[in-house]
């Protein structure tokens, strides 16, 4: 199936959304990303960089962010924040074993095969390189989870369904626009292991005690 950049049609909306209505979530998930990745020097690939909203966080840690995204609409905004290239996360325009760090924020449910992307992350990382993943929490966020009665969250049998869907409890959010693939928790963790990445740390964050974000730090073994 040819890749289509679903965000091209929503890039201006997304630019406003992450810094407007979703700003508290953007900030909180960015803090998680910073805690996991930690300070460092050299290039950090901002994988699926979107509008470049993580560039400032990565720079504040000492990294030099470089963005890759499939959507030229998103990259139009990102180019004002970091050097960018158009590319597919599953076939990165990046040399093997060339990077000390990769960060991927809020994008794994946009990718039809995140396990393949994790293998590509492992390919481009140097031995000892760090990979920070921050994404919607696989257990509590997706078409299978209804947050309309916060802080209660209702999870239903669609947790087992990995297929693409635009179903979402919030008709005004990102997923009702661009849809999502669901990656169950075991698939996410096994994807890291199968790519040869070693999990170092996991962190959760969420309002009212239920986590809506899961972050993982993994390293490529030396
Ligand atoms: C929800 S946005 C997240 C953007 C940014 N990382 C953030 O934290 O705001 C997901 C991004 O993944 C990008 N994307 C989807 N499929 C991709 C692919 N195959 N390769 C590269 N980027 C992709 C989309 O274009 C979009 O910009």
- Read off the pLDDT of residues 4-24 as tens digits, 9 standing for 90 and up: 799 999 999 999 999 999 999
Residue 2 has pLDDT above 80, yes or no: no
The answer to whether residue 205 sits within a structural domain is: yes
- In contact, 190 and 183? CB cutoff 8 Å: no
* Ligand 1 contact via 132 beta carbon (within 6 Å): no
* Ligand 1 contact via 70 beta carbon (within 6 Å): yes
- Read off the pLDDT of residues 99-130 as tens digits, 9 standing for 90 and up: 999 999 999 999 999 999 999 999 999 999 99
* Ligand 1 contact via 54 beta carbon (within 6 Å): yes
Count structural domains, the chain.
1
The answer to whether residue 178 sits within a structural domain is: yes
The answer to whether residue 100 sits within a structural domain is: yes
- Ligand 1 atom 26: residue of nearest CA: 50
Q: Which domain holds residue 148?
A: 6-219
- In contact, 147 and 186? CB cutoff 8 Å: no
- Read off the pLDDT of residues 55-89 as tens digits, 9 standing for 90 and up: 999 999 999 999 999 999 999 999 999 999 999 99
The answer to whether residue 125 sits within a structural domain is: yes
- In contact, 187 and 111? CB cutoff 8 Å: no
The answer to whether residue 168 sits within a structural domain is: yes
Q: What percentage of the chain reaches a pLDDT higher than 90?
A: 95
The answer to whether residue 1 sits within a structural domain is: no
Q: What is the mean pLDDT of residues 159-183?
A: 94
The answer to whether residue 145 sits within a structural domain is: yes
List the one residue out of 217, 218, 215 whose CA is nearest residue 31. Answer: 215
What is the number of the ligand 1 atom nearest to the C-alpha of 88? 20
Q: Which CATH number do you get for residue 198?
A: 3.40.50.150
The answer to whether residue 96 sits within a structural domain is: yes
List the one residue out of 151, 219, 157 whose CA is nearest residue 182. Answer: 157
């Amino acid at each position: 199936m040819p890749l289509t950049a679903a965000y091209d049609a929503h890039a201006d909306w997304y630019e406003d959304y992450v810094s407007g209505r979703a700003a508290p979530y953007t900030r909180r998930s960015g803090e998680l990303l910073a805690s996991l990745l930690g300070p460092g020097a050299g290039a950090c690939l901002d994988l699926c960089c979107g509008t470049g909203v993580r560039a400032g966080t990565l720079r504040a840690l000492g990294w030099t962010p470089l963005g890759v995204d499939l959507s030229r609409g998103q990259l139009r905004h990102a180019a004002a924040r970091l050097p960018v290239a158009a590319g597919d996360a599953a076939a990165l325009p990046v040399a093997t074993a060339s990077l000390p760090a990769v960060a991927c924020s809020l994008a794994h449910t946009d990718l039809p095969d995140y396990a393949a992307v994790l293998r590509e992350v492992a390919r481009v990382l140097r031995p000892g390189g760090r990979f920070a993943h921050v994404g919607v929490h696989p257990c509590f966020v997706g078409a299978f989870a209804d947050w309309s009665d916060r802080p209660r969250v209702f999870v239903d049998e669609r947790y087992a369904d990995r297929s693409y869907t635009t179903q979402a409890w919030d008709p005004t959010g990102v997923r009702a626009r661009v849809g999502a693939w669901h990656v169950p928790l075991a698939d996410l963790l096994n994807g890291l292991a199968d790519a040869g990445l070693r999990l170092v740390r996991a962190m959760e964050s969420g309002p009212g005690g239920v986590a809506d974000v899961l972050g993982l730090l993994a390293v490529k073994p030396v």
